[in-house]
Amino acid sequence: MNITNLALNYSVAPQLDIADIEALKAAGYDMVINNRPDGETEDQPTSEQVRAAVEAAGLKYVYNPVDLKALSHKEVEIQSAQISTDQKVFAFCRTGTRSSVLWVLANQEDEQTFNELVASVQQKGFDLGRCMPAMEPLKK
């Protein structure tokens, strides 16, 4: 599993495989956030399958699907509420990019911190350039 730590208690990754859930628990994660809408590809597990496996492992599960064409404050607020806890959060989508976008938007304080967070995420390998049209309206 290719996990990228964006902060001490927030990591992102591409599509989660059900078989990886025990490894997440062993790594100390408390929560799994699924930012991938169901049905993007035929090979991905459904959100219900992931939820059942995550909860069976004793972890909290949050389904917060993101479509960048329709990204709103609602998705950011859901993610922010989870990030603001002291729990160790693992968030995933197809590539980890949408989970990274939500982290930036949830943690920004102003335009300067927005730009710093974007730069930090990009240094970790996520190209947010194509996401900027969705992010711009949600900047503080």
CATH code, domain carrying 20: 3.90.190.10
Residue written as token pair 């240094």: 123
Structural domain total, the chain: 1
Map residue 88 onto helix, strand or coil: coil
Among the listed residues 117, 120, 121, 123, the one whose alpha carbon sits nearest the alpha carbon of residue 139 = 117
- For residue 92, list its beta bridge partners: 13, 34
Domain around 14: 4-138
Among the listed residues 129, 75, 109, the one whose alpha carbon sits nearest the alpha carbon of residue 118 = 129
Mean pLDDT of the chain: 96
Among the listed residues 60, 48, 109, the one whose alpha carbon sits nearest the alpha carbon of residue 86 = 60
pTM passes above 0.85: yes
pLDDT in tens, 40-78: 999 999 999 999 999 999 999 999 999 999 999 999 999
pLDDT at 1: 81
* Whole-angstrom distance, CA of residue 3 vs CA of residue 91: 9
* Whole-angstrom distance, CA of residue 11 vs CA of residue 69: 23
